[in-house]
Amino acid sequence: MKYRNFGNGEKLSAIGLGCMSMSHAYGVPDDKESIATLNYALDLGINFWDTADVYGSGKNEELISNVLVPNRDKIFIATKFGFTQREGSNGSNMVFDGSPAYMKTAVEASLKRLKTDVIDLYYAHRIDPNVPVEEMVGAMGELVKEGKIRYLGLSEASANSIRKAHAIHPISAVQSEYSLLTRDVEESVLPTCKELGIAFVPFSPLARGLMTNTLNLSTLADNDFRKKLPRYQEEYQDNNQKLAQGFADLAASIGCSPAQLALAWILKQGDNIIPIPGTKKRDKLKDNSGAPDIELSTGNLSQIDELLAKYPNTGARYDESAFKMVDNS
């Protein structure tokens, strides 16, 4: 595994591990395979793991603790706070609470579930429009002083919010969706992170499986999160299945898998970028881990651009309600 610089001399695996799917959003959990996958990540040198308190309502943090505790010095653990259920919603309606008061209870709960004394990277999962970002980040900074967290992160934050936050306390990482099909961060967020020396952490770098050419959009289970997202609906199915097949053919001609090609493209976009593809299966983790070894030529990058231009009707990444949670301030 190759490594990238982070924070004050940390060396993080160039490919991290997103753990959400082990407990949340994508089908039925398989704890046995997930734990095997976490242990295999250590064998592969993947030391940057990402979770959140909302994944499985805390169950994902508890699951990770089984491997984290006996290997604490080998793992750089990131988790997030802020999403909570609206009272009386029966879990169907999430709201975001970025208040210092809620944060104080959330971090204690995450520490307890992870069974650790300190969280390496603590993200605000979104930007709360009702709480000034300076106030939220100031309170997060207090957690650093208390020794409960080491680095601060933001998720789905605008360049303006990143700058405001960074002026209060150093922001070490910004996480947002970024893939061949989701590139809005290129306009201002990526340049801002580069300028300020902030790591950028793409989630869903494989377009939630679409770019692997293994996702059959017509057979997604009813409990699969993607069923609610425009990009994975029938309207875009023909375009996206043809795009995925074309991308797989291109990857084969280069001598790698589609997942490796998609991740290699992201790594090429900046040395401060550390993608966190999610999986709960060892074979997919192994495949993803090979991406840093793929060298892409200028010609390869042009071929990718040409393919994307051929199939432009990919659909939006979120529906209207989810976009309301994305900071555009």
Neighbours of 87 (CB within 10 A): 7
**Integer Cα distance of 167 and 158 in angstroms:** 14
Smallest CA-to-CA distance from 264 within 313, 301, 228, 316 is with 301
Q: Could you give phi then psi for residue 275, rounded to 5 degrees?
A: -70, 155
Task: Return the structure tokens found at 265.
Answer: 């493209």
**Integer Cα distance of 90 and 113 in angstroms:** 22
**Integer Cα distance of 92 and 200 in angstroms:** 30
Task: Return the structure tokens found at 36.
Answer: 């095997």
Question: If you count DSSP H runs as helices and E runs as strands, how many of each does the chain have, helices first?
Answer: 11, 11
Q: Could you give phi then psi for residue 200, rounded to 5 degrees?
A: -110, 130
Angle at 120 between CA 115 and CA 123, to 5 degrees: 100
Q: Which of 26, 40, 55, 236 is catalytic?
A: 55
Say whether 40 is catalytic.
no
Helix 159-168 to helix 189-196 angle, to the nearest 10 degrees? 20
* Buried/exposed code over 180-212 (b: 16+ C-beta within 10 A; e: otherwise): bbbeebeeebbebbeebebbbbbbbbbbbbbbb
Neighbours of 1 (CB within 10 A): 16
Strand 3-6 vs strand 10-13: parallel, antiparallel, or unpaired? antiparallel
| Contact indicator for 73, 47 with CB cutoff of 8 Å | no
| Contact indicator for 70, 41 with CB cutoff of 8 Å | no
Catalytic residues: 55
